Amino acid sequence: MPESTRRRSRASRGGQFCTIKDVAERAGVSTATVSRALSGGSVREDLKKRVIEAAQALKFRPNRAARNLRAGSTRTIGVLIPDIENPFFTSVICGIEEVVQAAGYSLLLANFNESPERERALLAAFHAEGVAGLIFTASCSLTSQYQPMIEAGIPMVAVSRLPGRLKVDQVTVANEEGARAAVAHLIGLGHKRIAMINGPVSVSTAEERQRGYERAFLDAGLRVPEDLIVHCDFRQNAGFAAVSELLERSRRPTAIFAASNLLTLGALEAIHQLDLKIPEDVAIVGFDDMAWAKSLRPPLTTVAQPALEVGRSAARMLLERIQQPDTPRRQVVLETTLIVRASCGAGHASAKT
Amino acid sequence: MPESTRRRSRASRGGQFCTIKDVAERAGVSTATVSRALSGGSVREDLKKRVIEAAQALKFRPNRAARNLRAGSTRTIGVLIPDIENPFFTSVICGIEEVVQAAGYSLLLANFNESPERERALLAAFHAEGVAGLIFTASCSLTSQYQPMIEAGIPMVAVSRLPGRLKVDQVTVANEEGARAAVAHLIGLGHKRIAMINGPVSVSTAEERQRGYERAFLDAGLRVPEDLIVHCDFRQNAGFAAVSELLERSRRPTAIFAASNLLTLGALEAIHQLDLKIPEDVAIVGFDDMAWAKSLRPPLTTVAQPALEVGRSAARMLLERIQQPDTPRRQVVLETTLIVRASCGAGHASAKT
DNA sequence: ATCAATTCAGAAATCGATTACATCCCCGTT
DNA sequence: AACGGGGATGTAATCGATTTCTGAATTGAT
């Protein structure tokens, strides 16, 4: 009878072969001693050895759920992002993973696909799951959803986008300066009719990049060409449509500043469809330096964000806050750098002539 | 005294405001009744209502760790992949997420960066974490690491790469047929000196794609040009180096078949650096249809894998196996499709003339 | 009206690891 | 020799939700 019970429970326990009790029995000590022996309490050497041997023989793995319950906390970090398929976020995740893994935490990942409802649901799931901390990029439409978790005292770090007036640590990049540098570069090459395709202004990154665009004109003593600023969502199709429209205007822009990687791809598609030459007919600068940027012909001039480092910083900040919850709030802003390739007619291409 | 104890414990519990006990007290019932009322047991209507109100008033969230401990299983699925920054895997994850989320599970994600040691460590972490199931793409060098988890009865699904002789469910794509179609396409356009840059043969996808390459030649009654097959790792730089070397040979290949997305990017870089024209000087076919493929000039002809669907299938299979552990082992092979664009001189480009 | 059957709430056991507390033993000191 | 202190071990409580078991109450049937 105990035999059969035993077997059933092992199977239902998803691969748990034995508990601390079994180890204790085999080693001839109490469970307390086993626990102490395995997690660094003071235990007589010979007993410790016996325990360790028993544990190995039985392939003992402490049950995480029991441990979490007792400890009142988990070793998992939640990551909530708008779009896993966007390589920028992928790199961020990669950076987070690196740091978090090294610290012995696991990563719970959720993708809300820019949908505020899913964002809310996933947030609730993370809360229920009892994550030790959360790294997130909000959809920005309703950041108040995050309030309950903040009040619950769960450490959180916002990444890339500023989450309204939530009081949390933040890691962002110098969007305004990056955009300014990109547009200034175009202006320096003689462009005046420079269009910008941008995401929704409700998202802080879009707003900041637009400010950079405007500042570049103001710095150069030029009027900001408001009619050349187009807003759409951050997807490739939207960028394609927006740029197609721009390029079919009677006075076509001579250059395009695309405010994100997917918008850049859409823009390129539109340019190619009209059989225009880059940079002779239209120059283009992108945002985000992706793996494919230098494989384009001509290679793409773009504003690079240190995505990996964004992830790493966020993870480090989160771990620090988990250890010391009461330190003052911090905001880290990482540099962006303009990478000049050939898609504006400067750099490599001109150097070649 | 109870006051201060209370406060400490709330903080240390990471945002847990109240337990089932508090709800029971407030509703004037026992904890058993609360549990039943909230999870569909039979409870008198008025009591049920009182419990639900109390739970809402106190913002009660059942502690997941306690639940997991009691249930002997978790609601998390582990995903172990070689490289998050590879868009193919990102899409797979996206597909997995979609299905798993809908079923009320969470995703534990880990990236081992093609390093077998990390693979082993992460696998152990997943095992300890008590995941309800695992979806993985193995590094293939030492699949025996997975044996303990299999023996422990944890449901597993292998994705994309065949994991040696592990007895697990599998989801792959028709690599051989995809590669054959791609190379046959090139042969049909008159190419004979077709090079292949491929990943390490130890990886099943690389081996299968190579078989497809060879078959295309054999089918056409041609000799397989062994000297034009180059192996390297799956990264962009490796592809760049390999193709640079190929193109500098005295009798340069007239076409290139790149067996993965990153290798394709490397190949493009090399082609551009030598200022060769696509498809006039070199034709190219890639593997994997990425977002950027149609924004290239000329747009890339490539073998598309249904990455999202791979993820979805894997997730569905895993969930099914979690519910019915004893069904026979299954292998799903999804179709690949050759997407003809202009990088080989066929399709759009020729249609235009 | 009485007894059986059925329903439903509560008390208590349970999951597995950790840890506060009690106990025991050994050694040193007076 | 007796007492005290310190270190190590075992016992049992604990974490929070679920579930079995028990007892009570209600319903229906005769």
Phi, psi of A305 (to 5 degrees): -105, 140
Task: Reply yes or no on whether the pLDDT at A309 is more than 60.
Answer: yes
B11 and chain A in contact, CB less than 8 A:
yes
pLDDT at A62: 92
pLDDT at A40: 82
Q: What is the mean pLDDT of chain A?
A: 91
A93 and chain B in contact, CB less than 8 A:
yes
Distance in angstroms, CA of B150 to C1' of D20? 32
pLDDT digits 0-9 by tens, A25-64: 999 999 999 999 999 888 899 999 999 999 999 999 999 9
Distance in angstroms, CA of A130 to C1' of C20? 26
Q: Choosing among A64, A118, A262, A324, which should be mutated to test the B contact, i.e. which has the most B CBs within 10 A? A: A64
Q: Choosing among A90, A115, A256, A276, which should be mutated to test the B contact, i.e. which has the most B CBs within 10 A? A: A90
CA B171 to chain centre: 10
Question: Which amino acid belongs to residue B251?
Answer: R
Beta bridge partners of B194: B255
Query: Nearest CA of chain B to the CA of A132: how many Å?
Result: 7
Phi, psi of B157 (to 5 degrees): -130, 125
Task: Reply yes or no on whether the pLDDT at A348 is more than 90.
Answer: no
Question: Nearest CB to B72: which of A12, A152, A269?
Answer: A12
pLDDT at A143: 83
Phi, psi of B198 (to 5 degrees): -135, 160
Structure token digits, residue B99:
């299905």
Chain A and chain B share a number of CB contacts under 8 A equal to 178
Yes or no, beta carbons of B93 and A109 under 8 Å apart: yes
A81 and chain B in contact, CB less than 8 A:
no
Q: How far is CA B272 from CA A21, A99, B174, B264, in A?
A: 65, 36, 31, 12
Please tell me the distance from the alpha carbon of residue B166 to that of residue B158, in angstroms, as a whole number: 9
3-state secondary structure B208-267: HHHHHHHHHHHHCCCCCCHHHEEECCCCHHHHHHHHHHHHCCCCCCCEEEECCHHHHHHH
3-state secondary structure chain B: CHHHHHHHHHHHCCCCCCCHHHHHHHHCCCHHHHHHHHCCCCCCHHHHHHHHHHHHHCCCCCCHHHHHHHHCCCCEEEEEECCCCCHHHHHHHHHHHHHHHHCCCEEEEEECCCCHHHHHHHHHHHHHHCCCEEEECCCCCCHHHHHHHHHCCCCEEEECCCCCCCCCEEEEECHHHHHHHHHHHHHHCCCCCEEEEECCCCCHHHHHHHHHHHHHHHHCCCCCCHHHEEECCCCHHHHHHHHHHHHCCCCCCCEEEECCHHHHHHHHHHHHHCCCCCCCCCEEEEECCCCCHHHCCCCCEEEECCHHHHHHHHHHHHHHHHHCCCCCCCEEEECCEEECCCCCCCCHHHHHC
Of the listed ranges A10-19, A253-262, B255-264, B344-353, the one predicted with least confidence: B344-353
Structure token digits, residue B323:
């519910």
pLDDT at A16: 58
Please tell me the distance from the alpha carbon of residue A181 to that of residue A334, in angstroms, as a whole number: 15
CA A223 to chain centre: 35
Beta bridge partners of B134: B78, B156
pLDDT at A144: 87
pLDDT at A257: 98
Mean pLDDT of A124-145: 88
pLDDT at B212: 98
Region of A303 on the Ramachandran plot (φ > 0 left; ψ -120 to 50 alpha; else beta): beta
Question: Nearest CB to B107: which of A13, A110, A118?
Answer: A110
Structure token digits, residue A277:
């030459």
Please tell me the distance from the alpha carbon of residue B269 to that of residue B263, in angstroms, as a whole number: 10
A290 and chain B in contact, CB less than 8 A:
yes
pLDDT digits 0-9 by tens, A145-196: 899 889 888 999 999 999 888 999 999 999 999 999 999 999 999 999 999 9
Mean pLDDT of A73-90: 94
Task: Reply yes or no on whether the pLDDT at A10 is more than 70.
Answer: no
Q: Choosing among B8, B10, B90, which should be mutated to test the A contact, i.e. which has the most A CBs within 10 A? A: B90
Distance in angstroms, CA of A34 to C1' of D7? 17
For residue A273, count other CB atoms closer than 10 A to its CB: 13
Mean pLDDT of A75-103: 95
Please tell me the distance from the alpha carbon of residue B174 to that of residue B25, in angstroms, as a whole number: 60
Distance in angstroms, CA of A41 to C1' of D2? 32
Task: Going residue by residue through chain B, which has 353 residues, state the pLDDT in tens, using 9 for 90 and above.
Answer: 333 333 334 444 445 578 999 999 999 999 999 999 998 888 899 999 999 999 999 999 999 999 999 998 899 999 999 999 999 999 999 999 999 999 999 999 999 998 999 999 999 889 888 899 999 999 877 788 899 889 888 999 999 999 888 999 999 999 999 999 999 999 999 999 999 999 999 999 999 999 999 999 999 999 999 999 999 999 999 999 999 999 999 999 999 999 999 999 999 999 999 999 999 999 999 999 999 998 998 999 999 999 999 999 999 999 999 988 889 999 999 999 999 999 998 754 433 32
Helices within A260-306 (DSSP H only): 261-273
pLDDT at B222: 97
The alpha-carbon radius of gyration of chain A (Å, integer) is: 27
B292 and chain A in contact, CB less than 8 A:
yes
Please tell me the distance from the alpha carbon of residue A285 to that of residue A287, in angstroms, as a whole number: 7
A62 and chain B in contact, CB less than 8 A:
yes
User: Which element (helix H / strand E) includes A258?
Assistant: strand A255-258
Contact B167, B161 (CB under 8 A): no
Yes or no, beta carbons of A297 and B296 under 8 Å apart: yes
Of the listed ranges A227-241, A335-349, B27-41, B293-307, the one predicted with least confidence: A335-349
Beta bridge partners of A278: none
Question: Nearest CB to A130: which of B9, B63, B110?
Answer: B63
